[in-house]
C-alpha cells in the first residue's frame, strides 16, 4: 500500500509518499480502508522531532482519518466489515488509577496515534478497536476525518476543565485553526459570549459565521488591550490558548479576577514568562488539557454528526502532497482543517 512517511526529522522536504508494507491486524484491531485523513499542528511538531520525541523510523504520521472497516481481529466486538468509522487518536492503558477512575487522558502510559506510534495517513491502517468511533451514513469522509481530534480536545478544554457556563465571556485565540474553530462553536453552543482572534478580515468573518460575537485582528491591535476595552476593563472569564509563548502573558492579562486559562498546546513555544503576582493577586487558574475521554469525544462528535457544529475545511489535497499540506499549516493559510485523500481514492 501507499502511505505518508518520513525517515528523519526536519522540514517539509522529509515528507514522502510511497510504498510501505501492508499492515497486519492484531487480535484487538480493525483494518480500515482510509477514505480521508486530516492534519493537525501535532503533525508539524512530530515531523520536526518535538523536544525529546524518539520515534522508530521511518514513521507514518497522522492522528485523524476516516474510512470503512475491511477486516477485524479475533477479539473485536464493536465493529464489523462495512462499518463507517473515524479515528480517535488517544491510546490509554485501561489499567492505571486514572483509567480506573475514567479520566483516561491522565493515563500513566497515554500516547497518541501518529505522534508516539505509527499513524493513519495511509491507504489502510490497523487501528485498535477502542480508538474508533462510528460515523453515521451521510457524513462526508472529509468531515469525519477532520473532526475527531480538534472537537474532542476543545470540548474537554471548555466543558470538563474550564467548566464554562452560559453567560460567561470566553476568548478563543487562533480561531482559524482546528482547535480554535471548534472552541468558538463549543463555547457559543454553551451560551457563552465569544471573543475570537484571527489574522485577517476573511478569517474574522468566518469566526463570526460560526459563532463568535466579537472578532479581533491580533495583527492590528494588542488583543489584551482590546479585551480590556470591550469589557469595561473587566476581562473575560475563560481564555482558550493553544499558542503558548507568544500569547501567554496577554492571555493572563485578558482574564477577569477569578478567571481560567485553559491550554492544550504551545505552537509558538513552550517556555513563556509568567508574572506570578498576576496569578495570585487576581486568583487566576491555569488548566492543562489533552485530548478527551471516549464519553467526551462522543458528546462532541454527536453534535458534528448532526450538523450542529460545522467542520470548516480550508483545503483538500492528494495524500502525495502532504508536504504542501504541512506548509499550509505552518504558513497559517486559510480557515479550518487541511484534509488529505489517498491518491488511489480520487482522480486528481
Residue 301 lies in a domain: no
Domain CATH for 214: 3.40.50.720
pLDDT of residue 223: 95
Q: Could you read off the pLDDT of 228-262 as tens digits, one per residue?
A: 999 999 999 999 999 888 889 999 999 999 999 99
pLDDT in tens, 94-147: 889 999 998 989 998 889 999 989 999 999 999 999 999 999 999 999 999 999
Beta bridge partners of 17: 4
The pLDDT of residue 275 is above 90 = no
Q: What is the DSSP string of 26-61?
A: PTTEEEEEEEEEE--HHHHHHHHTTTT----SSB--
Q: What's the whole-number average pLDDT of the chain?
A: 94
The answer on 212 and 194 residing in a single domain is yes
Indicate whether 331 and 268 sit together in one domain.
no
C-alpha cell at 14: 522529509
Number of domains in the chain: 2
DSSP per-residue letters across 295-319 = HHHHHHHHHHHTTSS---EEEEEEG
Place of cell 499492515: 23
Q: Are 245 and 270 in contact (CB under 8 A)?
A: yes
The answer, yes or no, to whether residue 193 has pLDDT greater than 80, is yes
129 inside domain: yes
The confidence score (pLDDT) of residue 266 equals 80
CA 246 to chain centre: 19
DSSP 8-state class, residue 113: B
- 130 and 188 share one domain: no
Residues 232 and 325 in one domain: no
Claim to verify: residue 335 and residue 209 sit in the same structural domain: no
Residues in the chain, total: 348
Q: Are residue 187 and residue 225 in the same domain, yes or no?
A: yes
Considering the domain architecture, whether residues 206 and 129 belong to the same structural domain is answered as no
In a domain, 204, yes or no: yes
**Kind of pairing between the strands at 2-5 and 16-19:** antiparallel
128 in the same domain as 10: yes
Q: Are 15 and 47 in contact (CB under 8 A)?
A: yes
- Whether 216 is in a domain gets the answer yes
Both 217 and 336 in a single domain?
no
- Looking at per-residue confidence, does 275 or 4 come out higher? 4
Share above pLDDT 70 across residues of the chain, in percent, rounded to a whole number: 99
Nearest residue to 234 via CA among 255, 250, 263: 255
Nearest to 178 by CA among 154, 206, 150: 150
- Enumerate residues 6+ apart whose C-beta is below 8 A from 225: none
Residue 293 placed within a domain: no
Residue corresponding to grid cell 496577554: 250
Q: Could you tell me how far CA 307 lies from the centroid of its own chain?
A: 18
Statement to judge: residues 52 and 169 lie in one domain: no
pLDDT (mean) for 40-66: 90
Query: Does residue 145 contact residue 202 with C-beta atoms inside 8 Å?
Result: no
CATH of the domain at 110: 3.90.180.10
CA distance 340 to 292: 24
Nearest to 260 by CA among 283, 278, 284: 284
* 126 and 262, same domain (yes or no): no
pLDDT tens digits, one per residue of 10-25: 999 999 999 999 999 9
| Assigned domain for 243 exists | yes
16, with CB counted inside 10 A (0-12, 13-18, 19+), is middle
89 falls within a domain = yes
Report residue 347's pLDDT band, with 50, 70 and 90 as the boundaries: low
Position 131 in a domain:
yes
- d(Cα 55, Cα 211) in Å, to the nearest integer? 39
Same domain, 166 and 244: yes
Question: From start to end of the chain, where are the E strands?
Answer: 2-5, 16-19, 29-38, 64-72, 84-87, 90-91, 111-112, 124-128, 132-134, 169-172, 193-198, 214-217, 236-241, 255-263, 285-288, 313-318, 337-341
| Domain membership of residue 141 as a residue range | 2-147+311-345
Amino acid at each position: 500500500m501507499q502511505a505518508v512517511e518520513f525517515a528523519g526529522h526536519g522540514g517539509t522536504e522529509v515528507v514522502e509518499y510511497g510504498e510501505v508494507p501492508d499492515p497486519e491486524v492484531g487480535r484487538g484491531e480493525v483494518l480500515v480502508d482510509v477514505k480521508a485523513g486530516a492534519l493537525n499542528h501535532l503533525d508539524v511538531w512530530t515531523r520536526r522531532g518535538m523536544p525529546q520525541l524518539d520515534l522508530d523510523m521511518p514513521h507514518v504520521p497522522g492522528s485523524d482519518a476516516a474510512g470503512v472497516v475491511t477486516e477485524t481481529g479475533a477479539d473485536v466486538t464493536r465493529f464489523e466489515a462495512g462499518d463507517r468509522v473515524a479515528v480517535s487518536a488517544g491510546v490509554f492503558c485501561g489499567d492505571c488509577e486514572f483509567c480506573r477512575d475514567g479520566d483516561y487522558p491522565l493515563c500513566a502510559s497515554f500516547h497518541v496515534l501518529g505522534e508516539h506510534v505509527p499513524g493513519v495517513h495511509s491507504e489502510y491502517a490497523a487501528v485498535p478497536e477502542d480508538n474508533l468511533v462510528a460515523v453515521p451514513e451521510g457524513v462526508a469522509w472529509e468531515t469525519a476525518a477532520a473532526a475527531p481530534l480538534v472537537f474532542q480536545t476543545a470540548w474537554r478544554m471548555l466543558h470538563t476543565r474550564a467548566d464554562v457556563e452560559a453567560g460567561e465571556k470566553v476568548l478563543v485565540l487562533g480561531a482559524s485553526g482546528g482547535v480554535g474553530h471548534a472552541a468558538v462553536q463549543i463555547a457559543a453552543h454553551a451560551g457563552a459570549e465569544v471573543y475570537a482572534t484571527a489574522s485577517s478580515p476573511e478569517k474574522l468573518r468566518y469566526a463570526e459565521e460560526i459563532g463568535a460575537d466579537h472578532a479581533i485582528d491580533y495583527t492590528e491591535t494588542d488583543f489584551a488591550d482590546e479585551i480590556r476595552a470591550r469589557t469595561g476593563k473587566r476581562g473575560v472569564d475563560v481564555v482558550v490558548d493553544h499558542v503558548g509563548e507568544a500569547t501567554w502573558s496577554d492571555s493572563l492579562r485578558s482574564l477577569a479576577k477569578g478567571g481560567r486559562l485553559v491550554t492544550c498546546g504551545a505552537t509558538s513555544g513552550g517556555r513563556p514568562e509568567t508574572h506570578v503576582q498576576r496569578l495570585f493577586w487576581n486568583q487566576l487558574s491555569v488548566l492543562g488539557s489533552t485530548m478527551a475521554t471516549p464519553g467526551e469525544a462522543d458528546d462532541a462528535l454527536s453534535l458534528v454528526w448532526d450538523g450542529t457544529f460545522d467542520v470548516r475545511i480550508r483545503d483538500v489535497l492528494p495524500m502525495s502532497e502532504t508536504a504542501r499540506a504541512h506548509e499550509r499549516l505552518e504558513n497559517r493559510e486559510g480557515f479550518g482543517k487541511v484534509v488529505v485523500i489517498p491518491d488511489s481514492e480520487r482522480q486528481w
